[in-house]
Amino acid sequence: MERTATATKGTIPMPDTPNPARRPGRTGKTQRKLFTATMEIMERRGSAHVSIEEVAQRAGVSKGTVYYNFGSKKTMIDRLLQYGTHLLVESMSEASVAQSDPREGLRKSISTALTYLHEHRGFTRLWVSEVWKGLDAWTDSMVDNRQEILDFIESRVRALRSRYTIDTAQDTRALALSIFGATFMLAMDREIHGVQRSIEDSTRAVMLVFDGYIRH
């Protein structure tokens, strides 16, 4: 059964505490610093070599602030991956709503996602490493991350009905999953395997999956 993501966009979900508003690192500025620092380290060396001490130093905050917010390296990685997912979906949404044509909105969303994954290589590599652990090793937040992205893509697929004649026999969730999978695999092909493929070419390939949903 799929779960519904409950975290607020643009914020890192924190563990429950008596006074969460007083905790260091609650501001968007600090969250962005922690995310950027961690992903830069992961881009170079992978998640296995990330330490709280190095993240704190690179982010320009105290080690105690990082521990106070997350408690452990595992929780830190988990929460920052969730934060990166929120940023990804927000950027896709902003690209989509700027377009009056829902097909063009989805195309812009895919292009934006591919650009985001290219610019945040540490995030891409972390996502891939977490996915390959297998479902039994997934945390609740990782399930939510997947759900949040799929929900957004499916909403854009459904929006086509306002402008186009679509194939009603197709399962919109399955189509969203196909777009999601193709986008991440193309990003992984570029960042992990070094395949030189432009964002435009990758976007065009993903849209070929999607265009079969529209009746011509």
Q: What are the boundaries of each domain within the chain? A: 20-211
**pLDDT value, residue 27:** 57
Q: Can you list the alpha helix ranges (DSSP code H) found in the chain?
A: 28-45, 52-59, 63-70, 73-97, 102-119, 121-131, 140-158, 172-191, 199-211
Q: Of 50, 24, 48, 207, nearest to 114 (Cα)?
A: 207
- Provide the whole-model pTM: 0.83
List, for residues 87-146, the tens digit of each pLDDT value: 999 999 999 999 999 999 999 999 999 999 999 999 998 888 888 777 777 888 899 999
Alpha-carbon span 37 to 42, nearest angstrom: 9
Mean pLDDT of 66-77: 86
Which CATH architecture does the domain made up of 20-211 adopt? Answer: Orthogonal Bundle (1.10)
List, for residues 158-214, the tens digit of each pLDDT value: 999 889 998 889 899 999 999 999 999 999 888 778 888 999 999 999 999 888 888
List, for residues 39-54, the tens digit of each pLDDT value: 999 888 877 778 999 9
